[in-house]
Amino acid sequence: AKRLEGKTILITGASSGIGRSTAFEFARTCPNNLRLILTARRIEILEKIAVEIHTELGEGVKVFPVQLDVSKPDQVRGLVNALPEEWREIDILVNNAGLARGVSRAPNISEDDMTTMFATNVTGLINMTQAILPIFLERPDGGRGDIINIGSGAGREAYPGGGVYCATKAAVRSFSDSLRKELIATRIRVIEIDPGQVETEFSVIRYYGDKNKADAVYAGVQPLAAEDIAEIVVFTASRRENVVVADTLVYPSHQAGATALHRKS
């Protein structure tokens, strides 16, 4: 917790699931002196989360909700300048916003779903990184700060019906690896965390709001909870400065691959 004191943390996709839990986990780990910039499209949810954090922990954690669609390059480019001065010294960027749309096989993937997934998961994440990196690079020792990218097991092992989603997460992984190498002479840490199945709004969104289909994904298995990944995000960010948790694959116990799942019938 001491290592996080005074830090400013920006989380994308903080309105739900892993991003939301990560906000709470940072706040609970360092309740006395922290600034959280929470971003997502659903600003009204972010505002509620801000109230919840203040109600639970008091005023030691300052929360600044910002409406941001990471798939819109202009919004991302304008983000830092739109922040009040005291919120601009960002120390940790959590690139979490992301989604899957559909489970269609190659011939049937819609143009719209393909564009949305790449624009959010890949170009959105890269644009965010470009927006924040100049802040990191101005600091001593060639630069300081953490970039925590939420990839996926799907970026390491593709599966049928995941052509585009898996490709976007493989792209995140490659981008993280390049960036870590490019920044080797700095103190900027590039951290990638790749979860397996986590029960969030992810599957509801993948199945276009069909709750029954989403529930079937988790039938007979015990998925991870968003909090499990949030704990790992905060763990990586609170290591000694010289420690880079470069790359982490996290499964629930009954998962050992994209489709290697043990289901109780």
Catalytic residues, by residue number, are 165, 169
Q: Which of 60, 16, 10 is nearest to 38 (CA)?
A: 10
| CA separation for the pair 52, 163 (Å, rounded) | 38
Q: Nearest approach, Cβ of 242 to ligand NDP (angstroms)?
A: 27
Of 232 and 258, nearer to ligand 8X3 (C-beta) is 258
Number of neighbouring beta carbons within 10 Å of residue 246:
13
Task: Give which of ligand NDP, ligand 8X3, none residue 258 binds (C-beta under 5 to 8 Å, depending on kind).
Answer: ligand 8X3
| CA separation for the pair 263, 55 (Å, rounded) | 39
| CA separation for the pair 24, 62 (Å, rounded) | 12
Question: Which of 10, 46, 70, 154 contacts ligand 8X3 by CB under 6 A?
Answer: 154
* Burial (Cβ within 10 Å: 0-12, 13-18, ≥19) of residue 136: buried
Token readout for 260 is 């290697």
193 sits near ligand 8X3 (criterion: CB under 6 A):
no
How many residues touch ligand NDP under the rule CB under 6 A: the total is 30
- List binders of ligand NDP among 16-35 (CB under 6 A): 16-19
Task: Give which of ligand NDP, ligand 8X3, none residue 19 binds (C-beta under 5 to 8 Å, depending on kind).
Answer: ligand NDP
Query: How remote is the C-alpha of 228 from its chain's centroid?
Result: 13
Helix extents (H) in 61-208? 73-82, 111-117, 125-137, 163-182, 202-206
13 sits near ligand 8X3 (criterion: CB under 6 A):
no
Which among 2-10, 102-110, 173-181, 198-206 is the span making contact with ligand NDP, rule CB under 6 A? 198-206
Binding site for ligand 8X3 (CB under 6 A): 152-154, 162, 196-197, 258
What is the contact surface with ligand NDP in residues (CB under 6 A)? 12-19, 40-42, 68-71, 96-99, 120, 150, 152, 195, 197-198, 200-202, 205, 226
